[in-house]
Amino acid sequence: MQDWNDYCFDKQGARLTYPFGDDVPVFRVGGKIFALFRETDGCPSVTLKCDPFRAESLREQFAEITPGYHMNKRHWNTVALNGSLSDQDIQMLIDHSYDLVFKSLTREEKAVIIANQLMGRV
């Protein structure tokens, strides 16, 4: 299984924060959360933003995907990282979350992120 923290950190403009404690890495773009990692009863999971219709469909298809823990359950899913889903599926879910959040940023916020990336700053 991949190191999902590295995968998230490699996203354009991604920032790693720990607002809920040292054991809960939270990834943001433009100040908005796109991935929140935690562990419950020894099982790691990630909470990701998701299109509401897609979120519901994914929950019906996969037992490992449940409504977002402590988040707006219409827009967030929690994905158990127990090896049941393929790395490709998890990448797709992280990418979808990042894309939704990035698209929600203002034009100015996007421009700053892109400019920083071009200048070699993260």
Class of 4-118 per CATH?
Answer: alpha beta
User: Mean pLDDT score of the chain, rounded to an integer?
Assistant: 93
The rounded distance, in Å, linking the Cα atoms of 70 and 18 is: 16
pTM exceeding 0.75: yes
Exposure letters 37-73 (e unless 16+ CB within 10 A, then b) = bbeeeeeebbbbbbeeeebeebbeebebbbbbeebeb
pLDDT tens track for 75-117: 999 999 999 999 999 999 999 999 999 999 999 999 999 998 8
Residue 42's pLDDT band, with cuts at 50, 70 and 90, is confident
Number of H helices, E strands in the chain: 4, 6
Burial class (CB in 10 A: 0-12, 13-18, 19+), 83: exposed
Q: Where do we find the tokens 């070699």?
A: 120
Q: What is the DSSP string of 21-77?
A: -TT--EEEETTEEEEEEEEETTEEEEEEE--HHHHHHHHHH-TTEEEPTTS-TTTEE
Domain segments of the chain as ranges: 4-118
